[in-house]
Amino acid sequence: MTNKPWNLRQCVKKYSDAGIKGISIWRNVLEGQDPGEANRLLDDSPLEVVSLVRGGFFPSVEKKKRLGAIEDNLLAISQAYAFGAPLIVLVCGSDSRQSLEKSREQIKEGIIKILPEAISAGVKLAIEPLHPMYSADRSAVNTLAQANTMAEEINSEFVGVAVDVYHLWWDGNLQKEIERCGRNDKLFAFHVCDWNVPTVDFLNDRGLMGDGCINIPEIRNWVEETGFDGFNEVEIFSEKFWAMDQNDYLEKIKNAYLNFT
Amino acid sequence: MTNKPWNLRQCVKKYSDAGIKGISIWRNVLEGQDPGEANRLLDDSPLEVVSLVRGGFFPSVEKKKRLGAIEDNLLAISQAYAFGAPLIVLVCGSDSRQSLEKSREQIKEGIIKILPEAISAGVKLAIEPLHPMYSADRSAVNTLAQANTMAEEINSEFVGVAVDVYHLWWDGNLQKEIERCGRNDKLFAFHVCDWNVPTVDFLNDRGLMGDGCINIPEIRNWVEETGFDGFNEVEIFSEKFWAMDQNDYLEKIKNAYLNFT
């Protein structure tokens, strides 16, 4: 994943130098960036573009906002196409002014609306279930079971799920649901980080692998048993780590990845 | 529920004056309180004692701590007996140094160990599933499905579940699981408050009913459809509300209860 304090050029250079093989691009790093130059940066690097992060945020009680979300997701598809990203991760969204069921309906409708563009661009879409602590404002899809059901109902080889250990580690049905999406060729992405004990911020207090309580190797094993051979993507939102020297942080990530993932 | 800034005498007086019919006693208000006097306070009031809060915290990798938890739960049972509380709410606990499965095993073992004392004291035990954001440190039981399964496996009329909208509102299986515990006579308690959007603190940023996004009347309806005729208990941990004049806060609670529950 692109690294919040670094711009795209820095990320590409530093990750390549560190021997990292792939990069997922957060769209915010593309802002103010010349698309042609960004493309050249990536083409000239050994890095494989894994995904574009993020689309989604479909639900709203306001029709205008729902239409705006469709526009934004179509833009994301064109960005993914431009950068050769084969996948967009969807943080699906939620609107606390309506029921979670209604928000989930609108998520499904939104995905179905953008699907033709995604197919013609050759860009897959991954529904990422988010931890239930984000139900009210970030995602009405909160379990892998819900994401699997939605992907199966949409029933396109271009729509699957993203498994992030941070969001799903607590779920007693996780192993079963990972097997389910694997069996159906719907497991499109795998993200790792750790759950700090205690966690003090709802958004930006994720831990380095090994610092928290998630049994990451066990979950990775479930993922790999499905035949998944994609990237293990490190995604750690952390005010603490973003505040430190980012070269040292990258070293820490590498060590944590090699020893605790 | 006893109100954090007030002592037991204040709670009993204020709640009685306000026309509230029942009280659940947090054990912290019993500290430094003469048990005989506390008992007289409650006997002399029109309030029904609904439950004692809380037992639990069974799991630990350290055997000594597990044994200490059993002792503490036995003490809670004797306190409940002394105050005529027919129920203890269990915040089950979790130890992030071991798997959630292991913690759940130890919870079940702990409940089975204290059950004979609970039965002879005539005190029921309610397993309260806590929101998954507490999986690592407060409860390894995070869905009503898990609580129901555990209560059914223990299979005693003295062991059931507590449904708190704050912990469970996000769960797509909630209606089905409320029906399940109702059908099995395992629905022992119902707690209300609201989920603030955004929520800024993991523990003490609960909302007054109507301030947040939970459809409380819908969940209450599911609960009442099972035949549940116990108390609707208001439980709002909130630094914000604890900091205000507590008489005004009690007024707010009454209004929120009457209008949004």
How many Å apart are CA B127 and CA B141, to the nearest integer? 8
pLDDT exceeds 80 at position A3: no
How many Å apart are CA B111 and CA B92, to the nearest integer? 9
What are the backbone angles phi and psi of residue B219, rounded to the nearest 5°?
-70, -40
Q: Would the pTM count as exceeding 0.90? A: yes
Q: Which of B131, B142, B197 faces A137 most closely, judged by CB atoms?
A: B197
Provide the token pair at A38: 């960004």
Q: For the sheet with A159-164, list strands across it.
A: A22-26, A48-56, A87-91, A124-127, A159-164, A187-192, A232-234
Give the number of C-alpha atoms closer than 13 A to the C-alpha of residue A13, restricted to the C-beta side.
7
Domains assigned to chain A: 8-260 (3.20.20.150)
In terms of DSSP bridges, do strands B159-164 and A232-234 run parallel, antiparallel, or are they unpaired? unpaired
The conformation of residue A203, written as its DSSP 8-state character, comes to S
Q: pLDDT, tens digit, for every residue of A171-192?
A: 999 999 999 999 999 999 999 9
Q: What is the pLDDT of residue B34?
A: 85
Provide the token pair at B187: 């629905």
Q: Within an 8 Å CB–CB cutoff, is residue B98 touching chain A?
A: no
The conformation of residue A60, written as its DSSP 8-state character, comes to -
Question: In whole angstroms, what separates CA B198 from the centre of its chain?
Answer: 24
Please give the mean pLDDT across all residues of chain A: 96
Identify which of B186, B192, B196, B199 has the alpha carbon closest to the alpha carbon of residue B226: B186
Q: Which chain A residues are closer than 8 Å to B132 by Cβ? A: 131-133, 170-171
pLDDT (mean) for A17-43? 91
pLDDT exceeds 80 at position A19: yes
pLDDT band at A4 (very low <50, low <70, confident <90, very high): confident
Task: Report the gap between the CA of B213 and the closest CA in chain A (Å).
Answer: 6
Q: Within an 8 Å CB–CB cutoff, is residue B105 touching chain A?
A: no
Q: What is the pLDDT of residue A115?
A: 98
- From the first residue on, what is the mean pLDDT of each consecutive set of 10 residues in chain B (261 residues)? 84 95 93 87 95 97 98 97 96 98 98 98 98 98 98 98 98 98 97 97 96 98 97 96 95 96 93
What are the backbone angles phi and psi of residue A160, rounded to the nearest 5°?
-140, -150
Q: Which of B135, B170, B215 faces A170 most closely, judged by CB atoms?
A: B135
Closest Cα in chain B to A213:
B96
pLDDT exceeds 90 at position A10: yes
Q: Which of B99, B100, B132 faces A131 most closely, judged by CB atoms?
A: B132
Among the ranges given (A41-45, A110-114, A115-119), the one the predictor scored with the smallest mean pLDDT? A41-45
Q: What is the pLDDT of residue B1?
A: 73
Beta-carbon separation of A131 and B136 below 8 A: no
Question: In whole angstroms, what separates CA B88 from the centre of its chain?
Answer: 8
Give the number of C-alpha atoms closer than 13 A to the C-alpha of residue A213, restricted to the C-beta side.
23
How many Å apart are CA A125 and CA A2, to the nearest integer? 19
Residue A31 or A188, more confident: A188
Q: What is the pLDDT of residue A35?
A: 83
Q: Within an 8 Å CB–CB cutoff, is residue B221 touching chain A?
A: no
Question: In whole angstroms, what separates CA A12 from the centre of its chain?
Answer: 19
Q: What is the pLDDT of residue B110?
A: 98
Q: Which chain A residues are closer than 8 Å to B146 by Cβ? A: 172
Strand pairing partners for A89? A53, A126
Supply angle C-alpha B48, B1, B78, rounded to 5.
Answer: 65
How many Å apart are CA B207 and CA A86, to the nearest integer? 42
Helix axes B63-83, B35-43, angle to 10 degrees: 40
In terms of DSSP bridges, do strands B206-207 and B194-195 run parallel, antiparallel, or are they unpaired? antiparallel
The ipTM assigned to this model is 0.96
How many Å apart are CA B66 and CA B73, to the nearest integer? 11
Q: What is the pLDDT of residue B220?
A: 98
Identify which of B144, B138, B140, B100 has the alpha carbon closest to the alpha carbon of residue B126: B144
Closest Cα in chain A to B98:
A213
How many Å apart are CA A246 and CA A234, to the nearest integer? 15
